[in-house]
């Protein structure tokens, strides 16, 4: 089976300008076991420390409650040796990226069975502290029923 038949790839944003914060597309987790966000910051100098928050809600676009997620970050900036080596797993409900994480890959993982009952939607947000810079964000979903063509997780 192909990787694209085992997982759903959802582009949340490519080279997003995070000036003033952003809110990504909401993902309906109803048909999925897990969501992994792959976040790659640009090497543009951040003038503030952006915080990443993932919200859960009962409807598309909702930001009812912050989710505590597991995350790992690469040891070096993209393009450097060890940029693909991830540090130890940790948890957070609001991840402060800080200046040390410019251009570093961050992985955020959320298990659907750990979400609040009745809350099927996830929305990734970068707060307004992100006054300069950019990110590319890809969500990788593990479907409950893998198939050749996996239906959209967006509305």
On whether residue 154 sits in a domain, the answer given is: no
pLDDT of residue 130: 57
Residue 99 pairs with which residues in a beta bridge? none
> Could you tell me if residue 37 is inside a domain?
yes
Q: What pLDDT, on the 0 to 100 scale, is given for residue 100?
A: 64
Note whether residue 138 is domain-resident: yes
Predicted local distance difference test score (pLDDT) of residue 113: 96
What pLDDT does residue 92 have? 95
Position 155 in a domain: no
DSSP 80-142: STTTT-B---EEESSEE--GGGTT-EEEEEEEGGGSPTT--EEEEEE-TT--S-EEEEEEEEE
- Burial class, 48, CB count within 10 angstroms (exposed 0-12 / middle 13-18 / buried 19+): middle
Please list the ranges in the chain whose pLDDT falls under 50. none
Assign residue 15 the CATH number of its domain: 2.60.120.380
With respect to residue 77, please indicate whether it lies within any of the assigned structural domains.
yes
Is residue 4 classed as helix, strand or coil in its secondary structure?
A: helix
Angle at CA 102, nearest 5°, toward 98 and 107? 85
Position 153 scores a pLDDT of 79
**53-68 as b/e: b if 16+ CB within 10 A:** bbbbbeeeebeeeebe
- Give the C-alpha separation, 36 to 16, whole Å: 18
Q: Give the per-residue pLDDT at 55.
A: 97
- pLDDT in the model for residue 13: 75
The answer to whether residue 150 sits within a structural domain is no
Domain range for 13 is 3-143
The verdict on residue 153 lying in a domain is no
Domain count, the chain: 1
pLDDT at 36: 98
Token readout for 88 is 């130890």
The model's pTM is: 0.89
- Locate 107 and state its tokens: 């992985």
Q: How far apart are CA 66 and CA 119, in angstroms?
A: 11
What pLDDT is attached to residue 47? 60
Block residue for tokens 């910051």: 41
Residue 71 near residue 106, CB atoms below 8 Å: yes
What is the reported pLDDT for 50? 78
Tell me whether residue 152 is in a domain. no
């Amino acid at each position: 089976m192909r990787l694209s038949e085992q997982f759903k790839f959802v582009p949340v944003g490519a080279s997003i300008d995070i000036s003033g914060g952003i809110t990504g597309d909401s993902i309906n987790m109803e048909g999925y076991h897990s969501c992994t966000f792959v976040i790659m910051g640009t090497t543009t100098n951040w003038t503030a420390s952006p915080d990443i928050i993932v919200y859960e809600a009962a409807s598309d676009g909702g930001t009812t409650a912050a989710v505590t997620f597991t995350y790992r970050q690469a040891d070096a900036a993209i393009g450097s040796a060890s940029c693909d080596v991830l540090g130890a797993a940790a948890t957070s409900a609001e991840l402060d990226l800080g200046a040390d994480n410019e251009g570093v890959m961050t992985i955020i993982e959320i298990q659907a069975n750990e979400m609040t009952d009745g809350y099927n939607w996830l929305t990734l947000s970068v707060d307004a502290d992100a006054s300069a810079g950019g990110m590319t964000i890809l969500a990788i979903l593990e479907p409950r029923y893998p198939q050749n063509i996996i239906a959209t997780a967006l509305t």
